[in-house]
Amino acid sequence: MHVTFHGATREVTGSFHTLTTDTDKILLDCGMFQGRRKESDEKNRVLEVDPKVITNVVLSHAHIDHSGRLPMLIGGGFKGRVFCTRATADACAYLLRDAAKIQEGDAAYLNYKTARNFLAKVRAGNVEARLSKGEMHEIGLTLKMENQYLNVPLIEKILRTNHLEIIEPLYSIQAAEESLEYFEGVPYRHPVVVGRDLTCTLYDAGHILGSAIVVLQRGTGAQRRTIMFSGDIGRFGKPIIEDPTLQFAEEHRDIDLLIMESTYGDRLHDPVVDMKPALRRIVAETYARGGSVLVPAFAFGRTQELIYFLHELYMEGQLPKIPVYIDSPLATDITHVFGEHPETYDIDTHRTFLQNGRNPFSFEYLKFIHTVEDSMALNRDERPHIVLSGSGMCEGGRILHHLRHKIHDERNTVLIVGYMGQNTLGRRIQELGQAYEEGGRKGPAPILTFYNKEYPLRAKVQTVGGFSAHGDRDEMTRLVKESNLRIKKIALVHGEEEQSLAFATYLREQGFDVTVPCHGQSISIN
């Protein structure tokens, strides 16, 4: 049998690997590529494996870069099951719908721009169109209904009539909902059959709620072959969920191939114990300036960790009594999923909250924003507050509106608490803000461009790296050095090339046989 690497090879997103035997083809993750719109869209539209030949899917966790193309797979004729933990299945019910909604919205807006630009060319006499002046006027008035909502049917009619390209989403909300019927949630450490003479067992990866280290095993005795897929490895000592597994069942200890992530293969995070004090300090300093804290936060995992720490700080009387707003419908839904899976909580969460009758994700100063109108009103609120909003990399969502209204004000703080991918607005904010601070905030403020406008970045930009859901170099190394595993070979995936190669060098120095596969490369397990 062999493993082929189709995604997340020398890059972070698009996790997609196949395990092929003489009877089955198992897909490990079916993730979406993220980053620059045109480049990622081109990648996402190509499923390099025929969905009809996939026996089953094993999903490590719910993040979109691991799960986001499952509706495409199912729409292409996949007939198997998607095996994952129960918490992952519940989270995907919201995440996949949200991904489809974003795609439909992006497609509608791009089509609107095409139609609008076409009409401008017609008015200027640069192109011919089968439209009267009256029709032109009427269309110009109705491309947007109520000056807010796009008239999608009319826009698409204009594009079809004039043979212009129509951008289609990868899949619809309906397709996302239909894909949920294929999910099968299984408990940790409970083996399930996923192919002929092929079993799968999930262990806690400590990354996000429901995340799993996957063990795939075929054969018995001397003929047994075992592949481990780490998924994304979490940090040790983080709140809410259990730490990554280090002790595995005896029959799963001998690993022929470990497919291991490498997101932070050459970096070390701030210690977990420093996260809460850092959060307290940043909020207090911003409050003293009369400002607000804007946090671009992933809806799944990061938002809930921040709620947890803020709840503790308020309980301990260490924060000023200012409101905390969760301005993300998806984050609101995912927080409910967290509340439904207390079986995944670590002992500290039980001791601090549950045993005292407290909900970790609810307290007096916490408010969930539900409507667009309430979100817009919050933009105009000059009183100090904390906002947690998506998207986590500032590539879309309501965080952009908060940034637009507040990054020009030096009283405010943009708090970076997670990974910012290359070529994202979040990465630009982080790098420009850091450079501005290191230069003593002298000279004109750096300029950010989004929404086709320029905004001066006068707000203070601070990063607290300890909030990352990914283990750093030393924490990932614990899986291979401090666990009870006996590992023959390691393949590093899910990391920017620089990080993967650096981590490979480090692990080789520790005595491991390591490779960094390229896109399309296969490794045989004999």
Q: Give the pLDDT confidence score for residue 36 in this predicted structure.
A: 74
| Phi and psi torsions of 361, nearest 5° | -110, 30
If you write DSSP's letter for every residue of 379-405 in order, what string do you get? HT--S--EEEES-TTSSSSTHHHHHHH
In Å, how far from its chain's centre is CA 163? 36
Q: How far apart are CA 262 and CA 260, in angstroms?
A: 7
Q: Measure the CA–CA gap between 52 and 78, rounded to whole angstroms.
A: 5
The residues with which 324 forms a beta bridge, in sequence order, are 366, 386
Which residues pair with residue 503 across a beta bridge?
none
Q: Are 109 and 150 within 8 A, CB to CB? A: yes
Residue 235: what residue type? R
Q: What is the CATH number of domain 272-467?
A: 3.40.50.10890
3-state secondary structure 451-511: CCEEEECCCEEEECHHHCCCCCHHHHHHHHHCCCCEECCEEEECCCHHHHHHHHHHHHHCC
Q: What is the dihedral of CA 359, 365, 368, 371, to 10 degrees?
A: 160
Can you name the residues that pair with 514 across neighbouring β-strands?
490
Residues of the chain under the 50 pLDDT cut: none
| Domains 2-85+195-268+470-524 and 272-467 agree in fold | no
Three-state SS string over 304-358 comes to HHHHHHHHHHHHCCCCCCCCEEEECHHHHHHHHHHHCCHHHECHHHHHHCHHHCC
* Per-residue b or e along 192-221, where b marks 16 or more CB atoms closer than 10 Å to that residue's CB: eebbeebebbbbbbbbbbbbbbbbbbbeee
Tell me how far apart the alpha carbons of residues 76 and 70 are, in angstroms, rounded to a whole number. Answer: 10
The whole-number pLDDT of residue 148 equals 60
Q: Is the pTM of this model over 0.85?
A: yes
pLDDT value at position 135?
A: 66
Q: With left for phi above 0 and alpha for psi between -120 and 50, is residue 99 left, alpha or beta?
A: alpha
Name the residue type at position 447. I
Closest CA to 206 of 506, 482, 388, 468: 468
Amino acid at 121: K
Task: State how far the Cα of 120 lies from the Cα of 396, in Å rounded to an integer.
Answer: 27
Determine the pLDDT at residue 303. Answer: 95
Q: Looking at residue 145, what is its pLDDT?
A: 59
Interval 357-416: pLDDT, tens: 999 999 999 999 999 899 999 988 999 999 999 888 998 889 999 999 999 999 999 999
Pick the CATH number of 2-85+195-268+470-524 from 3.30.420.40, 3.30.1490.100, 3.60.15.10, 3.30.70.260: 3.60.15.10
* Three-state secondary-structure class, residue 198: strand
CA-atom Rg of the chain in angstroms: 24
For the chain, domain boundaries:
2-85+195-268+470-524, 97-185, 272-467
What would the pLDDT profile of 184-221 be if each residue is shown by its tens digit?
999 999 999 999 999 999 999 999 999 999 999 999 88
Which residue, chain included where needed, has tokens 């938002």? 303
DSSP 241: B
Q: What is the pLDDT of residue 140?
A: 66
| Among the listed residues 27, 34, 37, the one whose alpha carbon sits nearest the alpha carbon of residue 6 | 27
Strand 212-218: give its sheet, edge to edge: 192-195, 198-204, 212-218, 225-229, 257-261, 490-493, 514-515
For the chain, what is the largest distance between any 2 Cα atoms, rounded to a whole number of angstroms?
Answer: 80
Q: Is 397 left (phi over 0), alpha (psi -120 to 50) or beta?
A: left
- Measured CA to CA in angstroms, residue 52 lies from 25, 29, 74, 223, 351 at distances of 10, 16, 9, 29, 48
CA–CA distance from 15 to each of 233, 259, 301, 450 (Å)?
14, 11, 19, 28
Q: How many CB atoms lie within 10 A of CB 341?
A: 16
